[in-house]
């Protein structure tokens, strides 16, 4: 048991590098997917309900009437389920600026991932990559407060469900909550880079 503990303790720096690689993979993959229609459509509920980001969209304040005659946010009538393409919905998203924003966001996410990865060799770059990862995670986690879709809705059925609203996370909510791990990872790689930079300064 002692040998196993010693092995893990001595490999800590390698595990932190693995954390950097893991963050890069997530950032590069998800950032790259922002170039695709289904992913761009999918982030609309998060962005359009966020007071920090909604100004990027042209129709953030749009109101419409649904099939039941109820007044609802316009974007709710133009959701494209993943794997389904509806031309009128895509046209709405084009007018909304959905795709242009997604391209920009994807580029930012990819760049942050690259900064984190470069921290393996360049601590100063890696430090800022970690800080930006932490900051991005704060924005993402704020969606738990601003986005209705992160909680299970009460859609009725044979009888009312008691498990809806807070704290019952939907699939989207569970995905957002996982960003707390990215937040911790950002702090870990930033602190490791800061330690490496401090060691260099002390050696001078």
Separation between Cα atoms, residue 76 and residue 72, nearest integer Å: 7
Spell out a b/e string for 52-84, using b for 16 or more CB atoms within 10 Å of the CB, else e: ebeebbebbebeeeeeeeeeebbbeebbbeeee
Sign of the CA dihedral running 163, 72, 138, 14:
positive
Element (H, E) at 71: strand 71-73
d(CA 114, CA 20): 9
Per-residue pLDDT of the chain (204 residues; tens, 9 = 90+): 888 999 999 999 999 999 999 999 999 999 999 999 999 999 999 999 999 999 999 999 999 999 889 999 999 999 988 888 899 999 999 999 999 999 999 999 999 999 999 999 999 999 999 999 999 999 999 999 999 999 999 888 887 778 899 999 999 999 999 999 999 999 999 999 999 999 877 766
């Amino acid at each position: 048991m002692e040998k196993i503990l010693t092995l893990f303790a001595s490999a800590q720096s390698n595990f932190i590098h693995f954390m950097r690689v893991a963050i890069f993979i997530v950032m590069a993959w998800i950032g790259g997917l922002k170039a695709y229609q289904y992913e761009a459509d999918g982030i609309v509920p998060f962005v359009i309900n966020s007071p920090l980001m909604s100004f990027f969209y042209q129709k953030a304040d749009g109101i419409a009437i649904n099939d039941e005659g109820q007044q609802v946010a316009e974007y709710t009538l133009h959701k494209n389920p993943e794997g389904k393409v509806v031309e009128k919905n895509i046209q709405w998203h084009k007018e909304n600026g959905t795709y242009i924003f997604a391209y920009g966001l994807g580029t930012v996410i990819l760049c942050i991932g690259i900064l984190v990865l470069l921290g393996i060799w360049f601590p100063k770059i890696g430090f800022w990559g970690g800080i930006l990862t932490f900051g991005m995670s704060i924005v993402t986690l704020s969606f738990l407060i601003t986005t209705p879709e992160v909680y299970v809705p009460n859609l009725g059925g044979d009888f009312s469900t008691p498990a809806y609203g807070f704290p019952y996370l939907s699939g989207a909510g569970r995905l957002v909550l996982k960003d707390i791990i990215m937040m911790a990872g950002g702090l870990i790689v930033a602190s490791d880079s800061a330690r490496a930079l401090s060691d260099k300064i002390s050696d001078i």
